Amino acid sequence: MNVGIFSGSFNPIHIGHLALANYLCEYGYVDEVWFLVSPRNPLKQDALLMPDELRLELVKIATEGYPCFRASDFEFHLPRPSYTVHTLEELHKAYPADTFHLIIGADNWQLFPRWREHERIIRENHILIYPRPGYPVNKETLPEHVQLTDAPVFDISATFIRKAMKAGKDVRYFLHPQVWNKLVSIKPDNHE
């Protein structure tokens, strides 16, 4: 099976994440997208990061009912800090029959040479790049197994959503309805 690996903090997961993943499944880039929630790095105290279990719960809520999506705590069980190269290595061991496609934004592609063992990631995996405003990618220069998708641009960020909610804005349409309901039901200081 062709599996898209969408790893991130999902702080919180929003419609941009979901619409992109839906597009990649429905337009034949991958058969499934696994949302790998990245755990809080114990070496960094990020006060803006919601607890790991809450972020995972929100991803589960958002992905429930669509058969091509899977919420995953796979990275929670790996040594920390976790690096993408190690996550992919462990995924290959755990699911040898699947072909993995790392999903990253064009902004991250520009930073990709700074990633730990980036050449190995390219050599051993497929990479799907989704467009981001202000980050052009030249398709002609991409290595083998690296593909620029024609996914629509969703310029929505979790930072925008957190700030809007902290300011008391009703941004329910930027989130899956049950994710919105869960976030407004908990104390605001839990997602500032």
Could you read off the pLDDT of 76-125 as tens digits, one per residue? 999 988 899 999 999 999 999 999 999 999 999 999 999 999 999 999 99
pLDDT at residue 14 in the model: 98
For the chain, domain boundaries: 2-190
pLDDT at residue 41 in the model: 61
pLDDT > 70? residue 154: yes
Could you tell me which CATH number the domain at 2-190 has? 3.40.50.620
pLDDT-derived band at 60, boundaries 50, 70, 90: very high
pLDDT at residue 190 in the model: 45
pLDDT > 90? residue 53: yes
pLDDT at residue 47 in the model: 65
What share of the chain has pLDDT > 90, as a percent?
88
pLDDT > 90? residue 38: yes
What share of the chain has pLDDT > 70, as a percent?
93
- 130 vs 44, which has greater pLDDT? 130
Question: Lowest-pLDDT range, 24-28, 77-81, 110-114, 132-136?
Answer: 77-81
Please state, rounded to an integer, the average pLDDT across all residues of the chain. Answer: 93
Burial of 189 (0-12, 13-18, 19+ CB in 10 A): exposed
